Structure 1
Amino acid sequence: MSETVTRDIVAKLWNLCHILRDDGVTYNEYVTELTFLLFLKMMRETGHESRLPLGYRWEELASRTGLDQLEYYRDLLLNLGSTKKTHDQTILSIFADANTKLRKPANLKALTTAIDKLDWFEAREEGLGNLYEGLLEKNAAEKKSGAGQYFTPRPLIDCLVRLMKPKPGEVIQDPAAGTGGFLVAADHYMKQNDKFFDLDEKEILFQQYSAYKGAELVPDAHRLCLMNLILHGIEGTVTCSDTLSPDGLALGKADLILSNPPFGTKKGGGKPNRADFSITSDTSNKQLAFVEHIVRALKKGGRAAVVVPDNVLFEDNTGRRLRTWMMELCDLHTILRLPTGIFYAQGVKTNVLFFTRGQTDKANTESVWVYDLRANMPAFGKTRPLTVKDFEEFEAAFGNDPYGKAERTDQGESGRFRCFTREKIKERNDNLDIAWLRDENDDIEERLTEPEDIAAAIMGHLRAALEEIEGLTEEIEVEALVPEEAA
């Protein structure tokens, strides 16, 4: 299926949301609603309908009309999420607590008719997973939906996967899986290699059922994630759970972790509830706690590429202790300073940390290479989206080794890529927020043209400032409780 065909089908599906506006259905509710219907249709198109109980399949739904169809649909959702009717664990997870927001029978009929009219022959040619991912991406790009928090830009995901080079037989984890973008991209990368199809039956079963692990806290995002995985031939190894609770230990150890953990603080100021946490046990800062999880979850020699906001690099007290601890246990070999404006929901400045868990727990970081892809970059937003080409120079500088051991060149003060020794970083009190290029385009709001992009940038600044204040307040409270000699 060409990119144009995919885009056309996604556009047709997305335009169906206009039908539902007078039914009081929001963008996110629409995607969830459409997901239920698409999933039933796609199970039929892929020959997997036997996983659904008899009497609760696409044809039974699509052939009905009026109130009969709407009542049948409500009954179908209830039964697909019930162990009395459904015995497939993945199907049960997808339809858990499912219900419809549709109130008008005519709207349901319009959706089922439109879905039936799509060119499913073309859609099957390449794989229905690509079509579904296109819909998720469209939802994330739609500012009104607010779904950007679950969706990492695909060019960034693909860049990190290319650099980390996942291999068959490895356990790959995303402790904040969202809609499963990193896991799907890793799977796609491996399947592009001809050697993948030389795997024996046992190895193929491992890839399908055991290679991918993850957790997603938000039920609707988890539902979308499971559907995304199953349409790409990956079975439900992502749980609906909180990684920062004892459930996070069940994720086990991984060879590779790829993740864009949520930013901000835990709701209600709650702290991580993990017996194995020692560095971030007293903070409600989620991004710091996720970094501790990732370091602990890596096998010896395991590697990670993780998106984090700037405050992980410079925050004092807990933040500094975390960075010092991480550089002891891991080789933090590369930091990529990402451009601003690529995440709508957060709107904050972000980075990617690339690190490898050491064979020992001492002095693993000897130097850190920093690539500045932020200074003097375009104003990314609706009119200038992020592309694969934007990462080409960084990928060339990073080199061909997923552990950061390729030969590299320090580009000096006028270049984007520089090396800093562990001693130099110690002199900075382990502050890793390192910038040397003068940014001629610092006032990003002045260069944005779309009102939605300008609003997002302003909200990002406000949100970042608020989180800094919350973090500072929290640290002051913690210090007040710790005896002076212990501090």
Structure 2
Amino acid sequence: MITGELKNKIDNLWDVFASGGLVNPLEVIEQITYLMFIHDLDDVDNTRAKESAMLGLPYKSMFSDQVEIGERTIDGNQLKWSVFRDMPAAKMYTVMQEWVFPFIKKLHGDKNSAYSKYMDDAIFKLPTPLMLSKVVDSLDEIYKLMADEKGMDIRGDVYEYLLSKIASAGRNGQFRTPRHIIRMMVELMDPKPDDAICDPACGTSGFLVSAGAYLKENYKEEIFFDQEKKDHYMNHMFFGYDMDRTMLRIGAMNMMTHGIENPYIEYKDSLSDQNMDENKYSLILANPPFKGSLDYDSVKPDLLKVCKTKKTELLFLALFLRMLKVGGRCACIVPDGVLFGSSKAHKDIRKQLVEENRLEAVISMPSGVFKPYAGVSTGILVFTKTGHGGTDNVWFYDMQADGLSLDDKRSPVNENDIPDIIERFRNRDKETERARTEKSFFVPKKEIKENNYDLSINKYKEIEYIPVEYPPTEEILANIRGLEKEIQENMDELEKLLKK
């Protein structure tokens, strides 16, 4: 969560854009993203050069030698943030507009890559040299403060804070997924180097970036010292779809900045006939749009066979089952209504998860998790596609705290169930004896079936009532009269003092 000086610096940067006439939040975020990307290219290039030197490997900087920009050939060193930031404002503006921006637009040689596809129509919109100079100075200050925040994913938090500026939700009820919830879901699923990972409603690619970071932390040597696995990680592991080109552009840059060279980030309506993916992915991580309502005509017919509904949250669950390979796993966020809704479509999709596949876990989250953007109550479903059942017992967890206050401020607090959720989920064999009064427990499939496949935790959780004994009514009345008498005596005493 961004607070204090860093928050003020980002707000000031936003004001610089507003004073220059750029007020559309998506446009502002897009321009900031371009500049952060340009800054990070310099940092990443320097880091890779140092790593290669340490390992004794050859490395050619993307800024080395001469770089061709259109019909001109220039010294690549001038395209580095650390170089052009010290130029006079007018020259820096010319370098940015005529050299740096065309350079990043054509940075990726593969015309079919996600990066090239969505940078093609990117436009540099800062209107004046003075405004560019102010923005560059502000970003330098922000990066300096970010560097001082040790041991935190502060870059991610800054990006989330920027995205929170998008006040208006999309037509399908889009909103940002908090990074710590994304990270928890990734850790629960424990991605492997041979996974094919997809988010069919990827937005800015938060789930894919987090999965990539997790793999880099836990399987670095296995991936990066094996040419085949490294190629899979860079080019064939990550897939994301969305219907917002700006989000896709930000998502593609986000992935590339995090070291994933060629993710498959595609403009696609996942629920329509555009999406032909079937039995393709081994892992899906998603927070699909809630509150959406689509026309039957715009939905792929085979999804309607699973559950005939216009509700996007139910259709996405049917989609995940179709897109996963047999044995593929999914962790997705759903609104509470999916867990207990009484319509035929609600029951059908829950029955499909329980009877035809292996539903492993239902994690109930408190309603404050998505504040201040939304107050919706949500849960996380974890399941494996089997196509022939396999659900024996479903593990439930009642999350009551996520390390932040559950009001609009979302300030850090000591209470945090996330480490406990991860620990218990990974050791579910030790959970069998837990009572229904605890935070987590198992519910057998038979009981879920008897309850119309209701998956709300309140259906199964037992509340332990502690009996409280009160004194007899006569005694309570006598105590009240005694208090009244004492108050009257004190009032009389006060009145005497005032008359003196």
TM range (shorter): 0.7 to 0.9
Q: What's the counterpart of residue 188 of structure 2? A: 163
Deviation digits for residues 255-300 of structure 1, max 9, x if unmatched?
A: 1111111111146x46553243243574221111111111112211
2:299 maps to which of 273, 276, 284: 273
Distance of 1:90 and 1:143 partners within structure 2: 23
Distance of 1:76 and 1:199 partners within structure 2: 33
Q: What's the counterpart of residue 222 of structure 2? A: 196
1:95 Cα deviation after fit: 2.2
Deviation digits for residues 301-333 of structure 1, max 9, x if unmatched?
A: 111111100111122111111111222231102
Q: What's the counterpart of residue 46 of structure 1? A: 44
1:330 maps to which of 354, 357, 360: 357
Deviation digits for residues 187-230 of structure 1, max 9, x if unmatched?
A: 21122225435641111111111111121222222111111100
1:176 maps to which of 182, 185, 201: 201
Distance of 2:62 and 2:351 partners within structure 1: 52
Q: What's the counterpart of residue 229 of structure 1? A: 255
The one-letter code of the counterpart of 2:15 is H
The one-letter code of the counterpart of 1:33 is Q
Distance of 2:68 and 2:38 partners within structure 1: 11
1:352 Cα deviation after fit: 0.3
RMSD: 4.2
Distance of 2:16 and 2:429 partners within structure 1: 54
Q: What's the counterpart of residue 312 of structure 1? A: 338
Which stretch of the first structure deviates more once superposed, 59-68 or 25-34? 59-68
For 1:84-103, what aligned pairs fall within 5 Å after superposition? 87=111, 89-100=113-124, 102-103=126-127
- Any conservation in 1 of the 2:338–2:346 contact (CA below 8 Å)? yes
- Any conservation in 1 of the 2:355–2:391 contact (CA below 8 Å)? yes
Distance of 2:32 and 2:325 partners within structure 1: 39
Secondary structure class of the residue paired with 1:182: helix
2:295 is equivalent to residue 263 of structure 1: no
The one-letter code of the counterpart of 1:353 is L
1:365 maps to which of 377, 391, 395: 391
Distance of 1:206 and 1:98 partners within structure 2: 28
Deviation digits for residues 396-449 of structure 1, max 9, x if unmatched?
A: 32234xxxx633235324212222222211211122223035699xxxxxxxxx
- Any conservation in 2 of the 1:254–1:299 contact (CA below 8 Å)? yes
1:20 maps to which of 17, 20, 23: 17
Q: What's the counterpart of residue 416 of structure 1? A: 439
Which stretch of the first structure deviates more once superposed, 31-40 or 374-383? 374-383
Distance of 2:273 and 2:319 partners within structure 1: 11
Is the alpha carbon distance of 1:416 and 1:113 closer, same or farther for their aligned partners in structure 2, counting shifts above 3 Å?
closer
Report which of the two structures shows the higher radius of gyration computed on alpha carbons.
Answer: 2
> Identity over the aligned pairs, expressed in percent?
26
- Any conservation in 2 of the 1:155–1:386 contact (CA below 8 Å)? no
2:451 is equivalent to residue 428 of structure 1: yes
- Any conservation in 2 of the 1:304–1:356 contact (CA below 8 Å)? yes
Secondary structure class of the residue paired with 1:304: strand
Q: What's the counterpart of residue 295 of structure 1? A: 321
2:371 is equivalent to residue 350 of structure 1: no
Distance of 2:411 and 2:436 partners within structure 1: 28
- Any conservation in 2 of the 1:272–1:284 contact (CA below 8 Å)? no
Is the alpha carbon distance of 1:53 and 1:175 closer, same or farther for their aligned partners in structure 2, counting shifts above 3 Å?
farther
Secondary structure class of the residue paired with 1:364: coil
Aligned length: 429
Deviation digits for residues 44-66 of structure 1, max 9, x if unmatched?
A: 44336569962695679865745
Distance of 1:17 and 1:383 partners within structure 2: 21
- Any conservation in 1 of the 2:234–2:263 contact (CA below 8 Å)? no
Q: What's the counterpart of residue 34 of structure 1? A: 32
1:117 Cα deviation after fit: 6.7
Structure 2: runs of 5 or more not aligned:
46-60, 466-500
Secondary structure class of the residue paired with 2:18: helix
The one-letter code of the counterpart of 1:391 is I
Secondary structure class of the residue paired with 1:34: helix
- Any conservation in 1 of the 2:401–2:415 contact (CA below 8 Å)? no
The one-letter code of the counterpart of 1:347 is G
Distance of 2:417 and 2:250 partners within structure 1: 28
Q: What's the counterpart of residue 445 of structure 1? A: none
Secondary structure class of the residue paired with 1:411: coil
Structure 1: runs of 5 or more not aligned:
441-487
Distance of 1:94 and 1:218 partners within structure 2: 11
Deviation digits for residues 350-385 of structure 1, max 9, x if unmatched?
A: 000011112xx3332222221112499963441435
The one-letter code of the counterpart of 1:379 is L
Is the alpha carbon distance of 1:339 and 1:302 closer, same or farther for their aligned partners in structure 2, counting shifts above 3 Å?
same
Distance of 1:81 and 1:163 partners within structure 2: 37
Distance of 1:211 and 1:10 partners within structure 2: 34
2:268 is equivalent to residue 241 of structure 1: yes
Distance of 1:283 and 1:221 partners within structure 2: 27
Which stretch of the first structure deviates more once superposed, 144-153 or 273-282? 144-153
Distance of 1:346 and 1:383 partners within structure 2: 12
Deviation digits for residues 446-479 of structure 1, max 9, x if unmatched?
A: xxxxxxxxxxxxxxxxxxxxxxxxxxxxxxxxxx
Which stretch of the first structure deviates more once superposed, 152-161 or 203-212? 152-161
- Any conservation in 1 of the 2:199–2:240 contact (CA below 8 Å)? yes
The one-letter code of the counterpart of 2:185 is L
